[in-house]
Amino acid sequence: MGAAARFILRRKGGKGWHWTDIVTWVWLTGGLIIMFGPAVWLGFSSFKTPAALAEFPPSILPYVTSQATVEGYDKPLQLFNAKMPDGSTRVLAEVRRIGIMSQMVDPKAPGEIVRININDRQPVRTLSFATSNYTEPFVHFDFLRYLWNSVFVTVTATLITLVVNSMAAFALSKYEFRGRSAAMLIILATLMVPLSVIMVPLYSIISSLGLFNSLWGVILPTVATPTGVFILRQYMLTIPDELIDAARMDKASEWQIYWRIVLPLTAPALAVLAIFSVVWRWNDFLWPLIVLSRRELYTLQVGLSIYSGELNVQWHFILAMTVVTMIPVVLVFIFLQRFITTGIAGTGLK
Amino acid sequence: MTSPSPTSSSSSRLGALLMAPVNALMRLIDVPLRGLQKSTGIGGMAAFFLAPNMLIFGIFVLLPLVINFVYSMTGGTAFFLAERNFVGGEQYARLFTCQNYLDPMSCQEDAFWTAVGNTFWFVILQVALMILTALITALILNRDLAARSFWRAVFFFPVLLSPVVVGLIWKWILQRQGLLNFILFQFGDTEPYTWLTDRTWTFAATIGVSIWAHMGFYALILLAGLQAIPKDLYEAAEMDGTKPARVFWRITLPLLAPNLLVVVVLALIRAVQIFDEVYVLTGGGPGTSTLYLTQYIYETGFASALRNPGLAAAASILMGSVLVVLTLIQLGIGRKNENKGKR
């Protein structure tokens, strides 16, 4: 509360409102709404029933209209708050509508039919979260499978990335050998080779290796990231060589030096790379879209986009699955955002 | 060897338990590696450490890069190089065959030139608007704000979202009965806008959505640049009673210029490759109004019934050469900045 008040009341130099204070205030509040609003709207919408999603104007919270089974009528009837001619309000069930008049009955005493102008009645609505939006796609569609595929790709690719990149970074930072600068140059040069430029030949390589329609075909091309080697190497350069020389005196093998000395000391950089890698691999779309053509192999991203592109879009399921797809990234954002922002500010890499 | 084990500082017993099998595995790997080290010497181990990364790199990045040129000079629909016939520069010629060079629709590959035109305007408008908003955001975040890290996080949030999620969120908001039309309806606009079926609106929507998704990233880099400007410059300006506008034009902007240039080039490189969120949001439509280059390459190479990998490769090489030029500019700027720092 204190921070909020300070934010609202802060002014430049403390002497009245400068125009820049107003711009700041408008920009930040607007930013808060525009940046978070769509995701929050998605979250609320994902709990609505199909009927509530089709409503216009939409309500923010997920409401459902109440119904009641009334004696003498087969189908459940919709409940309304009806304003009676004498000014009192009663809860009535609608039997049918004729023109602007609605025929209603009291659910407790269904004998007498009351006629009410449709403008004098409001549907009874209760707050209700349609959790079946979340459970059904997992049970009836393949979304559990997609979720598993996504988790498998993300975890495996991140682990391989960490091992392979840190080994390369170790070699490039702690050894003098011929061709070191050439290797460094090649790695840096490929920073400028995006997937969109090499997707045709990469696809043919993946298929000749028998990796088409395999999660490994998604994982392998992504793991030798130049970014990762670059970040880790920069960090390892700061580790004093004396530590390694001392270990060699103690007859430690090079592998032990890598595993027991260099890696633990590189932990902060490894953590940053791990976070980046998880977000990258979780969010990957174009490459999995090319490599995976069988439904049971789709990752969440591919599965979602395919389902949302089908003719009868079942928005209530799509919205719920979008939220599920968003969850890991939101968790990373809440708990690890600081690492990412300092990582980007420091290296300019995404 | 006495084991100097910095990992044990984590001290939790669970951690030690989890690490036990990993450590055992590493000890197991060490046995053959000691043998290897004996035969190659310490220097030779560098090759061992470098090998996995370079192998994956070579197979999945360098090799495709090289054979992409071969692909662009072959024809047919087969994917394996052995089954493709050499056609020389035919694919390039096909891309450049036009009756009237001022009208993309008169070209043989009109979809390619439509994609080029769309991408061109997208890049210009998106980068200009995005850098402007990112600059304003960075300037505001650089003020003496309460809870600055919170506000920084607010603008950064969409950067982490996956393009598919971004596309779906906005598809939901921009649909005919969506939130945006509802808000406009509240302000008295009775006729709902067709954001995703009208050509102009859809093009604008792809620009707006991609700015929403990426702006925070660039604001973050610009903010770091602003914070690196020495405070005493501002103090001196204040003592001289310099007007704020003059301070901005004479101190802030010139000192931020190197960062600004890097950010512009980076944004250009990314914008040229725009695909994911647009593909989910509009699918390139209506018609070809939001068909961008990467989608053209993807569809020519894989998705369409008349797929032509050679043509897709040729188009991707043309796009790649634009990216190479942009990257060289970026590296040039980077080097210049470094030299400045040294002086």
- Would residue B135 count as lying in a domain? yes
State how far the Cα of A324 lies from the Cα of A10, in Å rounded to an integer. 39
pLDDT for the residue B9: 46
Assess whether pLDDT exceeds 80 at residue B12: no
Report how far Cα B226 is from the mean position of its chain's Cα atoms.
23
pLDDT for the residue A9: 53
Same domain, A91 and A225: no
Mean pLDDT of B15-34: 85
DSSP 8-class letter at B249: I
Using CB atoms, pick whichever of B161, B313, B327 lies closest to residue A201.
B313
DSSP 8-class letter at A181: H
Same domain, A223 and A270: yes
Mean pLDDT of A16-35: 85
| Closest listed residue to residue A7, CA positions, set B146, B325, B112, B33 | B146
pLDDT for the residue B183: 82
DSSP B272-335: HT--HHHHHHTTT-STTTT--HHHHHHIIIIISTT--HHHHHHHHHHHHHHHHHHHHHHHHHHH
Mean pLDDT of B314-330: 88
Same domain, A32 and A143: no
- Would residue A253 count as lying in a domain? yes
Domain end (from A110, A127, A144): A127
Residue A106 to chain B, least CA–CA distance (Å) = 34
Same domain, A333 and A271: yes
Same domain, B58 and B136: no
Q: Are strands A89-98 and B85-86 parallel, antiparallel or unpaired?
A: unpaired
Query: Does B264 lie at the interface with A, CB-CB under 8 angstroms?
Result: no
State how far the Cα of B187 lies from the Cα of B190, in Å rounded to an integer. 9
- Would residue B11 count as lying in a domain? no
Segment among A21-30, A120-129, B263-272, B274-283 with least mean pLDDT = A120-129
Contact list in B for residue A192 (CB cut-off 8 A) is: 269, 323-324, 327
Longest dimension (CA), chain A: 100
Same domain, A138 and A166: yes
Q: Are strands A101-105 and B74-75 parallel, antiparallel or unpaired?
A: unpaired
Using a 10 angstrom Cβ sphere, with 0-12 exposed, 13-18 middle and 19 or more buried, the burial of residue A13 is exposed
pLDDT for the residue A143: 86
Domain that holds residue A180: 133-347
Segment among A193-202, B1-10, B58-67, B225-234 with least mean pLDDT = B1-10
pLDDT for the residue B4: 44
Mean pLDDT of B307-318: 90
Dihedrals phi, psi of B115, to nearest 5 degrees: -65, -40
- Would residue B34 count as lying in a domain? no
**Three-class DSSP category at A65:** strand
Per the DSSP assignment, residues forming a β-bridge with B74 are B86
**Three-class DSSP category at B140:** helix
Same domain, A80 and A29: no
User: How many angstroms separate the first and last alpha carbons of chain A?
Assistant: 34
Same domain, A295 and A338: yes
* Contact yes or no for B301 and A200 at CB 8 A: yes
Contact list in B for residue A23 (CB cut-off 8 A) is: 140
- Would residue B26 count as lying in a domain? no
Cis peptide before A76 (omega within 30 of 0): no
CATH number, domain containing residue B126: 1.10.3720.10
Record the pTM: 0.84
Chain A (160-199) residues lying within 8 Å, Cβ to Cβ, of chain B: 163-165, 167-168, 170-172, 175-177, 180, 183, 186-187, 190-194, 196-199
Same domain, A210 and A262: yes
Domain end (from B35, B68, B88): B88
- Would residue A334 count as lying in a domain? yes
- Would residue B338 count as lying in a domain? yes
Using a 10 angstrom Cβ sphere, with 0-12 exposed, 13-18 middle and 19 or more buried, the burial of residue B239 is exposed
CA distances (Å), B267 to each of B127, B263, B292, in order? 6, 6, 16
Mean pLDDT of A16-43: 87
Segment among A78-82, A107-111, A152-156, A254-258 with least mean pLDDT = A107-111
Domain that holds residue B115: 99-342
State how far the Cα of B204 lies from the Cα of A267, in Å rounded to an integer. 44
Query: Does B177 lie at the interface with A, CB-CB under 8 angstroms?
Result: yes
Contact list in B for residue A304 (CB cut-off 8 A) is: 164-165, 168
pLDDT digits (tens, 9 = 90+) for B167-222: 999 998 998 778 888 888 778 766 777 888 888 899 999 999 999 999 999 998 89
Same domain, A123 and A138: no
pLDDT for the residue B315: 92
Segment among A66-80, B29-43, B205-219, B278-292 with least mean pLDDT = A66-80
Query: Mean pLDDT for chain B?
Result: 85
State how far the Cα of B163 lies from the Cα of B178, in Å rounded to an integer. 20
pLDDT digits (tens, 9 = 90+) for B256-296: 988 888 889 889 988 999 999 899 999 887 888 899 999 99
Residue tagged 């310490």 (tokens): B42
**Any residues with CB less than 8 A from the CB of A269 and at least 6 apart, and which?**
A231, A232, A234, A235, A236
Using CB atoms, pick whichever of B52, B157, B327 lies closest to residue A167.
B52
pLDDT for the residue A189: 74
pLDDT digits (tens, 9 = 90+) for A287-335: 999 999 898 899 999 998 888 877 567 888 889 989 999 988 888 888 8
Q: Where are the alpha helices (DSSP H) in chain A?
A: 2-9, 19-45, 50-53, 132-140, 143-174, 180-189, 195-208, 215-223, 226-236, 241-249, 254-256, 263-265, 267-283, 286-291, 300-308, 315-347
Same domain, B116 and B151: yes
Total number of domains in chain B: 2
pLDDT for the residue B271: 93
Instruction: Work out the percent of chain A whose per-residue pLDDT is above 90.
Output: 31
- Would residue A54 count as lying in a domain? no
Q: Please give the ipTM for the structure prediction.
A: 0.84
Mean pLDDT of A171-195: 83
Helix (H) or strand (E) holding A113: strand A113-117
Mean pLDDT of A228-236: 89
Mean pLDDT of A81-104: 78
Same domain, A172 and A260: yes
- Would residue B208 count as lying in a domain? yes
User: How many angstroms separate the first and last alpha carbons of chain B?
Assistant: 47
Same domain, A232 and A87: no
Same domain, B224 and B246: yes
Chain A (66-95) residues lying within 8 Å, Cβ to Cβ, of chain B: none
Chain B (102-121) residues lying within 8 Å, Cβ to Cβ, of chain A: none
Contact list in A for residue B60 (CB cut-off 8 A) is: 202, 205, 220-221, 224
